[in-house]
C-alpha cells in the first residue's frame, strides 16, 4: 500500500474514531508506565538503533570484539583481513527486528560500525557513517525491504570519523559533524570537491585528554541554521557560509554534558507553526561532573549530575534555565513522546522519568515504574508507531561478558509504555472538544550513545474537528511551511486526544 504523501503547507484530513461505552464514558487507569519483555535475546547487543518506515528496527553492535551469539544464515561468513579481532567471522553484528511480528533476522556488515552515526535520508534509506578501523570512512546503506541487507560505499566520507553526529538538512543532504580528533564537518552525498570544512568551535570545546565534545548535540533550528552543543556550551551555526551566527552562554556551573560525560538532549516539540516567528527550545539533562574521569582513574567516583538546562534558542538574548531532576542520571536517553512529553530512560537508573515541558517548573518531572534490567553504557531506545518505547542493549565491557560481572552484556529487548493520565472522557456523538485534539508529526531518530540524532516532533494542532458519524470525526491540520521546520522525508503522524496518542501512520513529506 502506498504511503500518504504531502507537500509543505497543505491540509491533512484525518479520521479520528472514539470508541465509547454505551454511557459515552471511558476511563483510563492511572499507571506510572509498564514494561514488557519482547525478546529474551536477539543474540547481539544493540549499540545503535533506527526505526524504518516499514516498522522494522535496524540494530547493530560492532565487529571488532569477536563472534556474537547469532550465526549468519546459510553458512555465510565475513572475511575481513583488517579486523582487529576475527578476520573470518561467521556471526552477525546487525539485526533487523520486525516490531509487530516480534521476530528478527541477521544482517551482514562487512566492516566495523562501532560508535558510529547515521540518519534516514528523504527516500527512507538508512545511511550509517563512520566508525573504527576499517569502517572510519565507510558509508553503509540499508533500504527497507524484507530481503535487503547492508550495502557499503568505500571512502564514502572525505575524512576518518568516529563518534560524530549527523543531521538531515532542508536540501535532503546529511551533515556529519565532528568525531574524535576531527574539528570539522562534511556532507553526504558529496557535491563539492573540498568537502571537509573546519569548525573551530569543536577544538575550543575539546578538553585535553578527556574530549567531552564527541557526539555533539545537533538540531536544525527553524531559521535553517544548526544549533550545535558540545561539552558545556553551544553555537548557532550557518553551515552554508561557515559562520557562527550566535554564541550561547555556557551552562551555569560549566559541567560537561556531551560524550563521554554522556548527558543527553532534545529539541523540545515545535508548536505554533503558523506564527511569523516560531520558537524553539532545547533541553539538556544529566551528565558527569567536571574532572570525574580523571578522578575515576584514582579510584574516586563522583556522583552523576541531577540537573537539566533549558534554553530558548530563538530568543535574541537567550539564557539557560536550570531544573533539578528527581534522580541523578548519566548515560541516559531522551525520547520525545507523541503527547509532547519527554521520556528520560536508560543509564545507571532503573526508573524512567517523564518530563512535561508545559508544566510549571517544579512540577515537570514524574518518576515512572522501574525496569528489572539495568541498561548501562551502550543501551538504546526508539519510539514505535504504537507509542511504546523500544529498549535494548547495554554492554559496559570491551567484549561480550556474561559471567562474573555486576552488569553483564545484555541481549534482551523490552518495551516501555509511558504513563497514561487518569482522565474521564465524556463523548457525545456529535461533539468533541476541539482543543483536546492535536495532530503531531515525529521524525524517527538514529539512537546511540545517549543521543537521538535527527529527532523532531512537530505539533500541527488542528484546523477543525468535524463529526462524520457515530463517535467518528474528521480532523483537519496543516503541514509545516518549509524544510527548515520539517525536512523532507518520512514521519510518523499521530492524533493525540487529551494526551493519549493514536496508532501512528507513516507519511512522506516532500
For 397-409, the pLDDT digits (tens) are 989 999 999 999 9
Is the alpha carbon torsion for 404, 409, 411, 412 positive or negative?
A: positive
pLDDT at 22: 33
CA angle 450, 322, 176 (to 5 degrees): 35
pLDDT class of 429 with cuts at 50, 70, 90 = very low
Take residue 161 and report the three cell numbers written for it: 570519523
pLDDT at 72 over 70: yes
Mean pLDDT of 429-449: 89
Residues with Cβ < 8 Å from 347, sequence gap 6 or more? 262, 286, 304, 329, 330, 331, 332, 333, 375, 376, 379, 450
pLDDT at 428 over 80: no
pLDDT at 427: 46
Q: Which residues pair with 36 in a beta bridge?
A: 415
Instruction: Compute the distance between CA of residue 219 and CA of residue 314 in angstroms, rounded to an integer.
Output: 12
The proportion of the chain whose per-residue pLDDT surpasses 90, expressed as a percent, equals 85
Instruction: Compute the distance between CA of residue 293 and CA of residue 295 in angstroms, rounded to an integer.
Output: 5
Instruction: Compute the distance between CA of residue 479 and CA of residue 460 in angstroms, rounded to an integer.
Output: 7
CA angle 159, 162, 168 (to 5 degrees): 80
pLDDT class of 12 with cuts at 50, 70, 90 = low
Closest CA to 159 of 199, 207, 125, 122: 199
Note the Cα 194 to chain centre separation in Å. Answer: 30
Q: Which residue has the cell 454505551?
A: 22
Instruction: Compute the distance between CA of residue 330 and CA of residue 233 in angstroms, rounded to an integer.
Output: 18
Q: Which residue has the cell 561468513?
A: 77
Q: Which helix (H) or strand (E) holds 292?
A: helix 292-297
Mean pLDDT of 435-457: 97
pLDDT class of 469 with cuts at 50, 70, 90 = confident
Closest CA to 380 of 444, 331, 328: 331
**Average pLDDT of every residue of the chain:** 92
Mean pLDDT of 63-85: 94
With beta carbons less than 8 A apart as the criterion, state whether 138 and 156 touch: yes
φ/ψ of 114, rounded to 5, equals: -65, 125
CA angle 60, 61, 64 (to 5 degrees): 135
pLDDT at 426 over 90: no
Note the Cα 419 to chain centre separation in Å. Answer: 20
pLDDT at 81: 95
With beta carbons less than 8 A apart as the criterion, state whether 281 and 336 touch: no
Q: Which residue has the cell 472538544?
A: 433
Note the Cα 248 to chain centre separation in Å. Answer: 23
Q: Which residues pair with 103 in a beta bridge?
A: 98
How far apart are the two ends of the chain, measured CA to CA in Å? 18
Q: Which of 111-125, 237-251, 415-429, 479-493 has the lowest mean pLDDT?
A: 415-429
pLDDT class of 17 with cuts at 50, 70, 90 = low
pLDDT at 2: 57
Instruction: Compute the distance between CA of residue 466 and CA of residue 464 in angstroms, rounded to an integer.
Output: 6
Take residue 486 and report the three cell numbers written for it: 520539517
398 or 130, higher pLDDT: 130
pLDDT at 433 over 90: no
Mean pLDDT of 373-388: 97
Mean pLDDT of 25-45: 76
Domain that holds residue 88: 5-509
CA distances from 269 to 315, 475, 478 (A): 16, 20, 16
DSSP E strand stretches across 444-481: 446-448, 451-453, 456-461, 464-469, 472-478
pLDDT tens-place string over residues 179-222: 999 999 999 998 766 689 999 999 999 999 999 999 999 999 99
Instruction: Compute the distance between CA of residue 482 and CA of residue 416 in angstroms, rounded to an integer.
Output: 33
Instruction: Compute the distance between CA of residue 188 and CA of residue 186 in angstroms, rounded to an integer.
Output: 7
Backbone region of residue 155 per phi and psi (left: phi > 0; alpha: psi in -120 to 50; beta: other values) = left
pLDDT class of 23 with cuts at 50, 70, 90 = very low
Take residue 344 and report the three cell numbers written for it: 528520560
Mean pLDDT of 114-133: 98
Instruction: Compute the distance between CA of residue 28 and CA of residue 249 in angstroms, rounded to an integer.
Output: 43
pLDDT at 145: 95
pLDDT at 308 over 50: yes
> In the sheet where 126-129 sits, what is the strand order?
117-120, 126-129, 139-142, 151-153
Q: Which helix (H) or strand (E) holds 94?
A: strand 94-98
424-426/25-27 β-pairing: antiparallel
The proportion of the chain whose per-residue pLDDT surpasses 70, expressed as a percent, equals 91
Q: Which of 29-43, 71-85, 278-292 has the lowest mean pLDDT?
A: 29-43
| CATH code of the domain containing 94 | 2.130.10.80
Q: Which residue has the cell 516539540?
A: 269
Instruction: Compute the distance between CA of residue 230 and CA of residue 228 in angstroms, rounded to an integer.
Output: 7
Q: Which of 102-116, 227-241, 456-470 has the lowest mean pLDDT?
A: 456-470
pLDDT at 26: 31
Does this model's pTM top 0.85? My answer is: yes
pLDDT at 470: 80
pLDDT at 467: 86
DSSP E strand stretches across 40-79: 48-51, 56-60, 78-79
pLDDT at 31: 60
Q: Which of 315-319, 356-360, 427-431 has the lowest mean pLDDT?
A: 427-431
Q: Which of 10-14, 23-27, 218-222, 396-400 has the lowest mean pLDDT?
A: 23-27
pLDDT at 25: 30
pLDDT at 471: 78
pLDDT at 30 over 70: no
Q: Which residues pair with 491 in a beta bridge?
A: 507
Mean pLDDT of 87-104: 98
pLDDT at 432: 79
Number of domains making up the chain: 1
pLDDT class of 468 with cuts at 50, 70, 90 = confident
Q: What is the DSSP letter of 30?
A: P
Amino acid at each position: 500500500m502506498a504511503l500518504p504523501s504531502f507537500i509543505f503547507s497543505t491540509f491533512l484530513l484525518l479520521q479520528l474514531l472514539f470508541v465509547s461505552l454505551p454511557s459515552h464514558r471511558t476511563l483510563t487507569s492511572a499507571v506510572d508506565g509498564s514494561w514488557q519483555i519482547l525478546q529474551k535475546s536477539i543474540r547481539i547487543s544493540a549499540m545503535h538503533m533506527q526505526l524504518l518506515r516499514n516498522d522494522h528496527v535496524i540494530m547493530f553492535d560492532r565487529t571488532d570484539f569477536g563472534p556474537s551469539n547469532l550465526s549468519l544464515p546459510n553458512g555465510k561468513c565475513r572475511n575481513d583481513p583488517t579486523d582487529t579481532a576475527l578476520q573470518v567471522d561467521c556471526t552477525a553484528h546487525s539485526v533487523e527486528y520486525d516490531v509487530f511480528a516480534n521476530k528478527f533476522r541477521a544482517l551482514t556488515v562487512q566492516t566495523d560500525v562501532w560508535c558510529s552515526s547515521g540518519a534516514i535520508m528523504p527516500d527512507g534509506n538508512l545511511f550509517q557513517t563512520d566508525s573504527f578501523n576499517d569502517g572510519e570512512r565507510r558509508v553503509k546503506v540499508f533500504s527497507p525491504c524484507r530481503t535487503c541487507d547492508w550495502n557499503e560505499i568505500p571512502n564514502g566520507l572525505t575524512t576518518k570519523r568516529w563518534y560524530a553526529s549527523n543531521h538531515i538538512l532542508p536540501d535532503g543532504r546529511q551533515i556529519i559533524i565532528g568525531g574524535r580528533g576531527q574539528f570539522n564537518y562534511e556532507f553526504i552525498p558529496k557535491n563539492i570537491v573540498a568537502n571537509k570544512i573546519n569548525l573551530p568551535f569543536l577544538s575550543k570545546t575539546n578538553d585535553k585528554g578527556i574530549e567531552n565534545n564527541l557526539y555533539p548535540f545537533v538540531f536544525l533550528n527553524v531559521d535553517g541554521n544548526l544549533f550545535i552543543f558540545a561539552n558545556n556550551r553551544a553555537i548557532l551555526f550557518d553551515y552554508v557560509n561557515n559562520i557562527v551566527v550566535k554564541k550561547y552562554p555556557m551552562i551555569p556551573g560549566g559541567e560537561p554534558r556531551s560524550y563521554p560525560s554522556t548527558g543527553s538532549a532534545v529539541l523540545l516539540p515545535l508548536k505554533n507553526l503558523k506564527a511569523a516567528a516560531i520558537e524553539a527550545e532545547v533541553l539538556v539533562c544529566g551528565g558527569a561532573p567536571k574532572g570525574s574521569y580523571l578522578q575515576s582513574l584514582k579510584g574516586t567516583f563522583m556522583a552523576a549530575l541531577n540537573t537539566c538546562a533549558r534554553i530558548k534558542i530563538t530568543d535574541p538574548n537567550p539564557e539557560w534555565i536550570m531544573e533539578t531532576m528527581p534522580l541523578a542520571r548519566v548515560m541516559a536517553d531522551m525520547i520525545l513522546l507523541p503527547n509532547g512529553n519527554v521520556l528520560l530512560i536508560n543509564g545507571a537508573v532503573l526508573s524512567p522519568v517523564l518530563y512535561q515541558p508545559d508544566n510549571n517548573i517544579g512540577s515537570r518531572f514524574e518518576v515512572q515504574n522501574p525496569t528489572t534490567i539495568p541498561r548501562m553504557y551502550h543501551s538504546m531506545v526508539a519510539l514505535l508507531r504504537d507509542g511504546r518505547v523500544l529498549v535494548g542493549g547495554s554492554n559496559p565491557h570491551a567484549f561480550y561478558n556474561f559471567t562474573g560481572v555486576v552488569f553483564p552484556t545484555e541481549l534482551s529487548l523490552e518495551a516501555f509504555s509511558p504513563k497514561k493520565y487518569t482522565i474521564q472522557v465524556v463523548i457525545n456523538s456529535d461533539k468533541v472538544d476541539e482543543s483536546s485534539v492535536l495532530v503531531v508529526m515525529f521524525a524517527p531518530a538514529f539512537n546511540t550513545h545517549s543521543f537521538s540524532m535527527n529527532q523532531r516532533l512537530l505539533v500541527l494542532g488542528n484546523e477543525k474537528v468535524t463529526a462524520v458519524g457515530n463517535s467518528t470525526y474528521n480532523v483537519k491540520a496543516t503541514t509545516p511551511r518549509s524544510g527548515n521546520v520539517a525536512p523532507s522525508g518520512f514521519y510518523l503522524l499521530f492524533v493525540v486526544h487529551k494526551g493519549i496518542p493514536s496508532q501512528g501512520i507513516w507519511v512522506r513529506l516532500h
